[in-house]
């Protein structure tokens, strides 16, 4: 099946020129328009099939491509989207890219053939010309979720990931930790980059120098996080706390602690992101930074439907939702021999260390903020 990129290649023009020639002919010269239409005819390209389906609402299908279906966050997100879609009279088609752009591309091509009315995408990797062309070729509204790419110009619903990184790090600093390991995703993803920035800035505000050797990219994967945690915890200067920036990596960290015979939180405190359903069933129960998943799913679906129905036009809108800190039992003050000197810039940190508290005493944070606040 010919794509808009095939037409552009044959006509010797850009994808944007092809799109303008087919949809906004006044913006293209007669010579370029003739070349584009000749390429369309030769290749048998049908640019308006999906658009006709959109206008007539004949398919009633919305595609959704997530980055990792094994991650409970995406399972919960899809459930929220599907519930909202069912109420609006749409059916969902779910695809999993497995954090691989080639799979994401194949799924989008398949969804185009299914004449979907719109697409919800949690993209993997970085912005590329190829991705922009594929999304344009769908000829349907697109909304991004979890991982925004402002440059693409689509509606998006994301977490305030900088705040999420700051919440987790601040909670550990308030407990007295100075060596805090960060097991993160790839910085090419905005989620990981923002969480790293929140971690870094919170350390610096407390007068703690960033140690790059305590920051590891585990690709948002459990096994990679397990390996990274083993390496960190076997060091002579091992961290007294670890912050894992998604739930599957938190599981990898907890596995590493168990295999090394270390107790959480007596030996090592752990904070994760994503308050998945069984976080409270772990031993110890996990301290997490929760995302308002239900609100994210409902809002991204509503934004997409408004585009499908023509209610929303113009530039894309990015909605940023607030995280919340859920303090349970996996974080505590460091062991007395590891306890740090008083910190700068951490409200209440000195008071919390007064009186030689029990090293396994859970720490309550003052930084928790409500779920589902809309910031932006």
CA 127/CA 105 separation, integer angstroms = 13
Is residue 41 helix, strand or coil? helix
Task: Write down the pLDDT at residue 360.
Answer: 37
Which H, E and C letters describe 119-147, residue by residue?
EEECCCCCCCHHHHHHHHHHCCCEEEECC
Task: Write down the pLDDT at residue 280.
Answer: 66
CATH number of the domain at 161-293+323-353, out of 3.40.50.2300, 3.30.499.10, 3.30.565.10, 2.60.40.1120?
3.40.50.2300
For 161-173, the pLDDT digits (tens) are: 999 999 999 999 9
User: 297 phi and psi, to 5 degrees?
Assistant: -65, -45
Write the DSSP symbol of residue 63.
E
| Per-run averaged pLDDT (10 residues), the chain, 376 residues | 82 85 73 87 67 55 93 93 92 92 89 90 75 83 90 91 98 97 93 96 97 96 97 96 96 96 96 80 88 96 92 90 96 70 38 33 39 36
Task: Write down the pLDDT at residue 350.
Answer: 33
Q: What residues have CB less than 8 Å from 152, skipping those under 6 apart? A: 127, 131, 132, 135, 142, 144, 316
Domain ranges of the chain: 1-47, 161-293+323-353
Task: Write down the pLDDT at residue 181.
Answer: 98
CA 118/CA 305 separation, integer angstroms = 8
CA 238/CA 320 separation, integer angstroms = 35
Distance (Å) of CA 106 to CA 6, 101, 201: 16, 9, 39
Task: Write down the pLDDT at residue 128.
Answer: 61
Bridge partners (DSSP) listed for residue 217: 184
Q: What residues have CB less than 8 Å from 158, skipping those under 6 apart? A: 144, 145, 146, 147, 148, 190, 191, 296, 318, 319, 320, 321
Does CATH place domain 1-47 in 1.10.260.40?
A: yes
For 34-86, the pLDDT digits (tens) are: 898 888 888 877 655 445 444 444 578 999 999 999 889 999 999 999 999 99
The two tokens of residue 295 are 């609100």
Bridge partners (DSSP) listed for residue 200: none
Residue position matching structure tokens 């002579």: 236
């Amino acid at each position: 099946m010919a794509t808009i990129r095939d037409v552009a290649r044959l006509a010797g023009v850009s994808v944007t020129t092809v799109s303008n020639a087919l949809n906004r002919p006044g913006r293209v010269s007669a010579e370029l328009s003739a070349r584009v239409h000749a390429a369309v005819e030769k290749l048998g390209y049908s640019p308006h099939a999906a658009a006709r389906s959109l206008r007539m609402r004949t398919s009633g299908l919305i595609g959704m491509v997530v980055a990792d279906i094994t991650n409970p966050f995406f399972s919960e997100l899809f459930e929220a989207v599907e519930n909202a879609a069912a109420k609006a009279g749409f059916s969902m088609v779910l695809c999993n890219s497995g954090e691989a752009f080639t799979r994401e591309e194949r799924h989008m091509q398949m969804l185009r053939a299914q004449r979907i009315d719109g697409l919800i995408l949690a993209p993997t990797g970085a912005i590329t010309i190829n991705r922009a062309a594929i999304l344009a070729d769908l000829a349907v509204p697109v909304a991004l979720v979890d991982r925004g790419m402002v440059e693409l110009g689509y509606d998006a619903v994301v977490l305030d990931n900088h705040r999420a990184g700051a919440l987790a790090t601040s909670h550990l600093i308030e407990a007295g930790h100075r060596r805090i390991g960060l097991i993160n995703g790839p910085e090419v993803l905005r989620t990981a980059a923002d969480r790293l920035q929140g971690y870094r800035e919170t350390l610096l505000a407390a007068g703690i120098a960033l140690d790059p050797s305590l920051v590891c990219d585990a690709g948002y994967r459990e096994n990679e996080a397990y390996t990274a945690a083993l390496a960190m915890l076997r060091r002579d200067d091992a961290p007294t706390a670890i912050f894992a920036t998604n739930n599957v990596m938190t599981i990898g960290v907890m596995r590493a602690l168990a295999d090394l015979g270390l107790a959480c939180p007596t030996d090592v405190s752990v904070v994760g992101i994503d308050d998945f359903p069984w976080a409270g069933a772990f031993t110890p129960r996990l301290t997490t930074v929760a995302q308002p998943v239900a609100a994210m799913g409902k809002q991204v679906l509503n934004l997409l439907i408004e585009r499908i129905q023509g209610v929303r036009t113009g530039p894309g809108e990015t909605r940023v939702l607030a995280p919340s800190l859920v303090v349970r039992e996996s974080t505590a003050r460091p062991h007395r021999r590891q306890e740090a000197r008083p910190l700068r810039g951490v409200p209440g940190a000195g008071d919390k260390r007064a009186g030689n508290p029990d090293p396994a005493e859970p720490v309550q944070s003052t930084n928790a903020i409500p779920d589902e606040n809309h910031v932006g």
